[in-house]
Amino acid sequence: MRCATHPEVETNLSCGRCERPVCPKCMVQTLVGPRCPDCANLKRLPTYEVSLRQYLIAVGVGMGVAVAAGFVWYLIWRAVPFLLLSLLIAAGIGYAIVEAISLATNRQARSRITGNRWH
């Protein structure tokens, strides 16, 4: 038996799900036994869904903050007639938006990347 992805490699291992022959180089050891890279990727799909949900939450948070910031910006624009000062405050609000979004996403994204051997 030869590995499906490395035809030059002789192996007696096979994926427990699709039974494709795999060599130790491309075999992925999972809790339920050896898997080929494809099946290991299938198994990781829920992780991707979680990250997609996190992304959507981040977009939602970002849009909410942006709307709030726009309202604050409108109030400032009316209250502060000096253009330069308004721009400085706007820059501060923009920084706050970026901080809020990265706080909402970064911590979990970072732990996902370090805990994932396929990255």
Cα–Cα dist 57/101, whole Å? 9
The single residue among 14, 21, 28, 36 that binds Zn ion, judged by CB under 5 A, is 36
Q: Which is nearer to Zn ion, 26 or 93 (CB)?
A: 26
Number of residues that bind Zn ion (CB under 5 A): 12
Cα–Cα dist 61/97, whole Å? 9
3-state secondary structure 30-90: ECCEEECHHHHHHHCHHHHHHHHHHHHHHHHHHHHHHHHHHHHHHHHHHHCCCHHHHHHHH
Establish if 5 lies at the interface with Zn ion (CB under 5 A). yes
Establish if 42 lies at the interface with Zn ion (CB under 5 A). no
Q: Which is nearer to Zn ion, 5 or 86 (CB)?
A: 5
Listed ranges 35-43, 45-53, 75-83, 107-115: which one lies at the site for Zn ion (CB under 5 A):
35-43
Listed ranges 33-41, 61-69, 76-84, 106-114: which one lies at the site for Zn ion (CB under 5 A):
33-41
Residues within the interface to Zn ion (CB under 5 A):
3, 5-6, 15, 17-18, 20, 23, 25-26, 36, 39
